[in-house]
């Protein structure tokens, strides 16, 4: 079994341990749960967002994404269909 070492602010660790102990867990168990959820969801299992003051224009972001994709084409199967307008659906 692998051993992982992380650095964490002392106050954050204490607060985390208090909450986890109320749940009957320790930090090691919580990190293992987090890792399993990452594998299960194939990503971070919660939304990652910017602070309220940092807003992102969705159309500008998608446009930038496509300009990067257009500059770096990938060979896709000939029957692959993608509709750019789907990116704008809410």
Helix (H, G, I), strand (E, B) or coil at 5: coil
Q: What's the pTM value of the predicted model, to 2 decimals?
A: 0.51
State the pLDDT at residue 51.
66
pLDDT in tens, 31-64: 999 999 999 988 988 887 776 665 667 778 778 8
Crossing angle of helices 10-22 and 27-41, in 10° steps, is 80
pLDDT in tens, 6-23: 899 999 999 999 999 999
How far apart, in Å, are the Cα atoms of 66 and each of 21, 52, 56, 62?
Answer: 46, 25, 16, 6
CA dist 84 and 65 (Å) reads 11
CA dist 52 and 38 (Å) reads 25
């Amino acid at each position: 079994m692998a051993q992982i070492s992380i650095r964490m602010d002392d106050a954050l660790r204490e607060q985390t341990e208090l909450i986890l102990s109320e749940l009957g867990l320790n930090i090691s168990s919580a990190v293992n749960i987090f890792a399993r959820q990452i594998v299960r969801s194939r990503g971070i299992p919660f939304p990652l967002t910017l602070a309220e003051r940092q807003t992102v224009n969705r159309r500008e972001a998608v446009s930038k994404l496509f300009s990067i994709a257009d500059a770096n084409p990938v060979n896709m199967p000939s029957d692959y269909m993608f509709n750019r307008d789907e990116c704008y659906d809410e």
